[in-house]
Structure 1
């Protein structure tokens, strides 16, 4: 299991942060174990929760693009 961004996020009493997994989490691309781990962490970590809210709209924003926009 990933342990976040290491020194960029560090760890506190709640354990390692999950910033490196937030994009995959927002796109529902994690396996069940990592998905549960991230969800549990977000429930108790304001710092990671704030970072998640910044990327949470990724899926809907990507849906606005068409193939020509990706070139």
Structure 2
């Protein structure tokens, strides 16, 4: 089940986890939990980017079809 979180929040949380890992601020005990959470956040971001790209492509196709239809 995908969590109801917006892209900006998911990306910000993901960046925070990455920063903690880079700065060795995560204990070994927390690492497993953080890695799983990062994986969830990556999936959320990827899904939202895919849906946005699909929507943009649909709009561009509609504009293209409209332009072709009016050119006749």
Is the shorter-chain TM-score for this pair beyond 0.5, marking a shared fold? Answer: no
Which of the two has greater helix per residue?
Answer: 2
Greater Rg, structure 1 or structure 2? Answer: 2
TM-score (normalised: structure 1): 0.31
State the TM-score, normalizing by the size of structure 2.
Answer: 0.31
